[in-house]
Structure 1
Amino acid sequence: MKQLPVIFLFLLALTKQVAAQEAPIFPKGEVATTDNHTGTVWLKELSAPDNVFTYSIAMATFAPGAKLDWHAHPGGQILLITEGVGYYQERGKPRQTVHKGEIIKCQPGVEHWHGAAPTSTFAYLATTPTQLGKTVWFKRVTPQEYAGGN
């Protein structure tokens, strides 16, 4: 009977360690209120551009099924996937499934969209050079496009 508290403490410590490993590194941010996505998207700007570093770094977190509209970045963008499973598609190319740990390089001026798979959250760190202009937004992603059709 004396071993029960020791085992309990060990399991409690292990549970806390696992939970700490799964906790996000950066905060989720605020729910986006712009009209350039469907579903719930949280955004947190981590580092704004300035006179020395002319790029921004932001954290984006998507609820299952949430996605951004078609858009392009004049200076391109790099996405470091930090959580879940999502989709990425460039105009005229097949939709790709992307996972935690992968990197997407959105080429300058190329129209594309990205978002969460239907049954998974999805998050990434986005690095965007801003000196060439802001994101240009286009139309909504259709249900057919989201499902993998063109």
Structure 2
Amino acid sequence: MKTMRRAIGAGIFLLALATQAAAQQTAIFPKGEIATVDNHTGTVWLKELSEADSVFAYSIATATFAPGAKLDWHIHPAGQILLITEGIGYYQERGKPRQTVKKGQVIKCQPGVEHWHGAAPKSTFAYLATTPTQKGKTVWLKRVTAAEYQGGR
């Protein structure tokens, strides 16, 4: 009888752990819609959470990337801050080495600096982005090459 109670107790404990782990995997914000614009490679979901207006001159959005998906090279005239919320991804500024970024990190994309970001080959990747809009919208440039994605410059 004691063995059976221990087994049931252990099972309940494992179920509680699994439930807790699943709860921690639940996204705070909706994933959004698959992006249909031609400024990325792979599947990217976008959701605008708060658009800039006359009081708040910045937008807040969430982006979720399928493994291997990435944005093209681009510039934010007033900069951007990325709060990494899921997975493993890459961030690279023009002329600098590619960086690996992970859940919990904060990336400051400097104003006017050409860069790209996206998911690692075997991981999803998501972030919250806050983007000041007073100096204009994102300027999209060329595709990231396979060599750049793999860590070359």
TM norm. shorter chain > 0.5: yes
Equivalent-residue separation in structure 1 for 2:10 and 2:102 (angstroms): 36
C-alpha displacement of 1:6:
4.6
TM-aligned CA deviation for residue 89 of structure 1: 0.7
Partner secondary structure for residue 47 of structure 2: strand
CA separation in 1, counterparts of 2:38 and 2:16? 44
Find the partner of 1:68 among 64, 71, 83: 71
Q: Which runs of 5+ in 1 are unaligned?
A: none
CA distance in 1, matches of 2:123, 2:13: 31
Report the secondary structure of 1:98's partner residue: strand
1:39 aligns with 2:42: yes
What TM-score, normalized to structure 1?
0.94
Aligned-pair Cα RMSD in Å = 1.3
Q: Give percent identity, aligned residues only.
A: 77
Amino acid at match of 2:83: L
Q: SS of 1:27's equivalent?
A: coil
Counterparts of 1:108-147 in structure 2, within 5 Å, are: 108-147=111-150
Per the alignment, residue 108 of structure 2 pairs with 105
* Unaligned residue ranges in structure 2 (runs of 5+): none
Q: CA deviation at 1:9?
A: 3.5
User: Which residue number corresponds to residue 59 of structure 1?
Assistant: 62
Could you report, residue by residue, the CA deviation over 1:72-111 in whole angstroms, capped at 9, with x for unpaired residues? 0011000011111111111111111111111111111111
Structure 2 length-normalised TM: 0.92
For the residue of structure 2 that corresponds to 1:126, the secondary structure is strand
Task: Name the aligned partner's letter for residue 71 of structure 2.
Answer: L
State the SS of the aligned residue for 1:92. coil
The equivalent of 1:18 in structure 2 is 21
- May I ask how many residue pairs the two structures share in their alignment? 150
